[in-house]
Structure 1
Amino acid sequence: MRKARIAGLGAVAALVVVGLFQLPASPFARNDAPDRTPVAASEPLGEPPVDSPRDSTPGKGGPQTPAKPADSADPSITYPEQGSVSYSVLPGDPTPIGSEGRLLTFEIDIENGIKGIDRTELARFVRETYGAPQGWTAGGKWRFRQVGPGQDPGFKLMFVTPATRDILCGGGYDHYTSCRIGQRVVLNIARWVNGVPNYGASLTEYRKYMLNHETGHRLGEAHELCPGPGQPAPVMQQQTLGLHGCTPYAWPYQNGTRYEGRLGKYNDPIPGT
């Protein structure tokens, strides 16, 4: 189903979103472990972010319009609007994820100020999502391995507060979406905790989509469109902002085949901007 990709097509900017609601408990919740290995966010950011809405009119940074509650949510993880812009790096795991293809190493960073995440469970969730039968390793093109503090990762998977999302991703006031910029896969903790309204699937499924979508940009994938009403949404569709007749689907593969739509993106508004 794959259309030929245009040479030089860069990552496009992934949109994932800030809610004012806190929702039921998830397996990621626990009393916070002490922060480890703060990492300053002062390194160059690289090219423009893939999911930042630079083609949308930015908001003025005022209060957001509350969204309707999502299908599920996690009240056990708490966070300020603006964190410290420093990070704790989770310990690595030497176990390879996938059996063939190009190896990409990654580290998991949590912004200091975010509380209640079970870090061991979070790392397990990330690794299992990447290595799932329908995940990014399914086609034999990619392998992953999680590295820890002091190592040089192929990308950083960063869980950040809404305002830090704007610092890292740029593009004006947003607070709602996530993005990929350079070697950084930036996940907005507000979306991780709250999901999005009317998504039509569980918070766990939305988290898998969020992780796979933004990582897909790091792998060179661009935004895609819904193939048709009632069909699963491609993982590279901006499902955070709208399904456009498709049903939610969190995965890049389906029945062993790469599942894709036509290249393109919708002009969906970002809540609160």
Structure 2
Amino acid sequence: MPDIEYPAVGGGAYEYAPTAGPVAGAAGRLLSYRIAVERDIAGISPAGFAEAVEAVFADPRSWPGTGQWRLRRAGTGERFDFTIYLVTPATRDRLCHSSFDRYTSCRNGDSVVINVARWVHGVPDYGADLVTYRQYVINHETGHRLYHGHELCPGPGRPAPVMQQQTLGLHGCTANAWPIVDGRSYAGRSGQYDDPLPRDP
């Protein structure tokens, strides 16, 4: 797999995955999404990013596994409900319109925004590999689009809820990428921590 390279500031132009994908999930409301990758990012194509996203949603531990949602990637010219972006840090700030940190990812309206810096580097002291972090960030930000807010760690040593801001800290929980744990929907109390924002080197 080629290395992914990107500037801190991208031009804000995108390439979209052109083909439709299969429906993930057997029951629940159907939402369609499209995949967009900022053109300044090298080493990952829209099709490659779409494949990674689809693999997350196809996992029975992801949101379609709850029975509340079915998710399908829209092709060119098809209607869609939201867009999942992979973008440079500065474009993250433009799309998110919040915190302007160039570090986190976000959801803003119908935009699920993944910061390529987190996609490439993950976060320090996460306690799991980069694949797990990528699964987490897709499920977390998509979870916001599915009307879920932030949640708190339910107790030391327990899995972090997927809607906990694991990018900023685990607060005694262990890293967890999924909204379903041990075959059941898994969540913590509503709320968020006042964690400082890390900075990329």
- Flag whether TM exceeds 0.5 (same fold): yes
Write the deviation string for residues 207-241 of structure 1: whole angstroms up to 9, x where unpaired.
00000000000000000000000000000000000
Alpha-carbon distance in structure 2 between the residues aligned to 1:97 and 1:267: 35
- 2:161 paired residue number: 234
Q: Would you say 1:150 and 2:80 are equivalent positions?
A: no
Question: Amino acid of the residue matched to residue 227 of structure 1?
Answer: P
In the TM superposition, what are the counterparts of 1:116-265 in structure 2 within 5 Å? 116-265=43-192
**1:100–1:143 CA contact under 8 A, matched in 2:** yes
Name the structure 2 match of 1:269.
196
Per-residue deviation at 1:119? 3.9
For 1:167 and 1:123, how far apart are their aligned partners in 2? 22
1:190 maps to amino acid:
A
Q: How many residues align?
A: 200
Aligned-residue RMSD, C-alpha: 1.4
2:44 matches 1:110: no
Q: After TM superposition, give the deviation of residue 118 of structure 1 in Å.
A: 4.4
Return the offset for 1:172: 4.6
Normalising by structure 2, report the TM-score: 0.95
> 1:66-85 maps to which residues of 2 (within 5 A)?
76-85=3-12
**Which structure has greater helix proportion?**
2
Deviation at 1:203, TM superposition (A): 0.2
* Aligned-partner Cα distance in 2 for 1:94–1:249: 26
More RCO (CA 8 Å, sep 6+): 1
- Mapped partners of 1:268, 1:166: distance in 2: 19
Unaligned runs of at least 5 residues, structure 1: 1-26, 30-75
Shift of 1:123: 1.6
Q: Which aligned runs of 4 or more in structure 1 are off by greater than 3 angstroms?
A: 118-121
- Residue 86 of structure 1, CA deviation: 1.1
Following the alignment from structure 2 to structure 1, what is the Cα–Cα distance between the partners of residues 199 and 120? 18
Cα distance between partner residues in 2 of 1:172 and 1:260: 25
Q: Give distance in 2, aligned partners of 1:89 and 1:152.
A: 14
- TM-score normalised by length of structure 1: 0.71
Tell me the distance in 2 between the aligned counterparts of 1:115 and 1:259: 36
**3-state DSSP of counterpart to 1:192:** helix
Quickly say closer, same or farther: Cα 1:262–1:228, change in 2 above 3 A: same
Aligned position for 1:89: 16
CA distance in 2, matches of 1:173, 1:99: 38
SS at match of 2:195: coil
Hey, what's the Cα distance between the residues in 2 that align with 1:77 and 1:127?
A: 19
Matches of 1:247 and 1:258 in 2, distance apart? Answer: 17
- In structure 1, distance between residues paired with 2:161 and 2:6: 30
* Deviation of the 1:256 alpha carbon: 2.1
